[in-house]
Amino acid sequence: MSKYSISEFLKQTEQVDKDQGLFELETQRMLEVNLDGQVWAKAGSMISYNGKIKFEREGMFEHGLSKTFKKAFTGEGTSLMKATGRGKLYLADQGKKVTVLDLRNEVIHVNGNDLLAFEPSINWDIKLMKRIAGMMAGGLFNVRCEGTGMVAITSHYEPLTLRVTPGNPVITDPNATVAWSGGLQPEFQTDITLKTFFGRGSGESIQMKFAGDGFVVVQPFEEVYYHSK
């Protein structure tokens, strides 16, 4: 049989149940949700589904509103959708690598553009990085996820996790920062001496400084966001 036959293609690419639970990594860049109830996902991330599933896109929230559950979040137009029903739901985001985290009464902060899906048992809240509003075009929002349940995040290529220990802070580029542990509160700083190395419109390099005890996840890619016109 030819290795390029249709039957061989099906053998290599056909969906296979792995019995991993609610979230399954069908491939490194595709998340399968074995839905029986409800899940939150990034709006526009659905690529296929079967069964009876209803999708609801939530409206924009007011920036001054502060409560645990908000109907949507925005980071240059990014928002959440709620999928309700029973069936198989397949999610992906621009071919980015998907990582599933099983939180056990833990907290993680995720860049608003890198949150793909999470269980309804997760408490989430929007955090606006007000200090850099106007200083850079994107990365202004992150989502604080807390509780017990599955959270799926995305990254361009393989993520790298850096340990942060007392006395040894970690400095990152905001556009390459994917997530960080709940106990860390990043500070923003600028480095004018680096302006010749970065094509920033502001002429400065904006950095995130993580100090304390925890970890920060970065990707080998600068994700640039644009304000919708």
Say whether pLDDT at 137 is over 60: no
pLDDT of residue 68 exceeding 80, the answer is no
146-190: per-residue pLDDT in tens? Answer: 999 999 999 999 999 999 999 999 999 988 999 999 999 899 887
Q: Does residue 62 surpass a pLDDT of 90? A: no
Q: What is the pLDDT of residues 5-23, one digit of tens each?
A: 888 888 888 877 777 689 9
**Residues forming a β-bridge with 200:** none
From the list 142, 138, 112, 143, the residue with the least C-alpha distance to 225 is: 138
Write down the pLDDT at residue 199: 55
Q: Give tens-digit pLDDT for 70-129.
A: 444 444 445 789 999 999 999 999 999 999 999 999 999 999 889 999 999 999 888 776
Spatial distance between the Cα atoms of 221 and 48, rounded to a whole number of angstroms: 27
Nearest Cα to Cα of residue 31 among 111, 103, 119: 119
Q: Which two tokens stand for residue 121?
A: 């048992």
- pLDDT value at position 58? 65
Residue 63's pLDDT band (boundaries 50, 70, 90)? very low
Contact status, residue 220 vs residue 158, Cβ threshold 8 Å: yes
How many other CB atoms are found less than 10 A from the CB of residue 12?
8
For Cα atoms 118, 89, 147, give the angle at the middle one, nearest 5 degrees.
15
Query: How confident is the model over 125-150, as a mean pLDDT?
Result: 72
| pLDDT score recorded for residue 66 | 45
Amino acid at 195: K
What pLDDT, on a 0 to 100 scale, did the predictor assign at position 61?
47
Q: What band does 2 get if pLDDT is binned at 50, 70 and 90?
A: confident
DSSP for the chain, please give it: --TTSHHHHHHHH--------SEEEEETTEEEEEEEEEEEEETT-EEEEEEEEEEEEPPPPPTT---S--S---SSS--EEEEEEEEEEEE-STTPEEEEEEEEEEEEEEEGGGEEEE-TTSEEEEEE-GGGBTTBSS--EEEEEEEEEEEEEEESSS-EEEEEBTTB-EEE-GGGEEEEETT---EEEEEGGGTTTS--TTSSEEEEEE-SSEEEEE-SS--------
The pLDDT score that the predictor gives to residue 122 is: 95
Query: Tens digit of pLDDT for each residue in 184-216?
Result: 989 988 776 665 565 545 445 788 999 999 999
Model pLDDT, residue 132: 56
Q: Name the token pair of 137.
A: 């075009």
Domains of the chain: 18-218 (3.60.160.10)
